[in-house]
Structure 1
Amino acid sequence: MRDALDKDEYSIFVAHYLEQITEEGELSDIYRSQSDELIARFGRLSEEQAGYRYAEGKWSVKEVLGHLTDSVQIFSYRLLCLARGESQPLPGFEENLYVREGRFDAAGLDTLLARYRTVRDAALALAESLPEEAMMHKGIVNGNPLSARAQWLMLIGHERHHIRILEERYGV
């Protein structure tokens, strides 16, 4: 998937996320399947299991879900800005601050999953509405070059990265 991108569409800082995408096919289909898979995976958990942390100071399963949801919202905003040709640099975000302030452990798992589904659906609607030429627009995100197309791929690759962590470290 990353091979379809030109080298000037992304920086080394996001390459890891882009490398997570190994399937071929329509990105919208991959994205939909990924959302359904994650909802099914989390839907099998009890509230107690969703509060699990694999080590002291690490995020709980609920906090990972909250982080994924926040990231979709942030990445979607970036996608919109880049696709519309925004010339102002877009900021990064401090993920640990967002997780702490999100207070995800206090929310019910069903509530977190509903929010996740809503923001994922909105991001998909945005991406599907963008013409191909808009996906080629480039800007600066967190001090690095990024195209709208690479940001769309990051939505998928970032989640894939965290799914692997959930499998390997959380047993989810």
Structure 2
Amino acid sequence: MKRSDIKELPDYFDNYINLNEDTELTEAFDKSLKQIDDVDLEQLKRIGFKVYAEGKWTINEIIQHLTDWERIWCYRTMLGARQEGSVPSGHDHIAMADNSNANDLTIEQLLAELRAVRVATKAMFDAFNHEVLSVNCRFKDTQMSVFAMGYNIIGHQLHHFNVIKERYVPLAD
């Protein structure tokens, strides 16, 4: 199945889902891993802790946010996929970033953790059959299929990597 096979796009998260190409989910996960592997470490090191505007996250905080966010979304996905029945609440990504120690870690550490989480996420989705992928996940005030959750997770990375490219890379000079 491809991204275009998603029957209902949830408000707000459709932005992340639609950032994906119209490819098979496993191919989208493979491309997301390649995107992590292809990061220019030297460029990110030149950027360091610079931000493009006051109050914005550092590159380290963005990478930590991606990892934290993905773990939360995998939990939500698993609850839905296994039809556990509870409806997880939202989370405060600002509080999580404020309380992370991302700026105490190296960019290599953060990217290695993100990659490890992404490999585990891909393995989870690879284990889901068509029936499981069709199950609706409910959380807070939203619902989407397990299948859409996969593209949502990948699209979130695409979004933040686009922000890094557009707003942070110019700071490397």
SS of the residue corresponding to residue 11 of structure 1 reads: coil
Query: Which structure 2 residues correspond to residues 1-172 of structure 1 after superposition, within 5 A?
Result: 2-7=3-8, 10-21=9-20, 23-45=21-43, 47-171=45-169
Deviation at 1:48, TM superposition (A): 4.8
Deviation per CA, 1:18-49, whole angstroms, max 9, x where unpaired?
A: 1211x233221222222222332153335452
TM-score normalized with structure 1 length: 0.89
Corresponding letter in the other structure for 2:7 = D
CA distance in 2, matches of 1:30, 1:88: 29
TM-score normalized with structure 2 length: 0.89
> Are the counterparts in 1 of residues 136 and 146 from structure 2 also a CA contact under 8 Å?
yes
CA distance in 1, matches of 2:40, 2:68: 17
Q: How high is the sequence identity, in percent, across the aligned residues?
A: 25
CA distance in 2, matches of 1:27, 1:51: 34
Structure 1 unaligned residues grouped into runs of 5+: none
| TM-aligned CA distance change 1:91 to 1:20, over 3 Å | same
Structure 2 unaligned residues grouped into runs of 5+: none
- Cα RMSD (Å) of the superposition? 1.8
SS of the residue corresponding to residue 139 of structure 1 reads: strand
CA distance in 1, matches of 2:118, 2:89: 21
Which 10-residue stretch deviates more, 29-38 or 63-72? 29-38
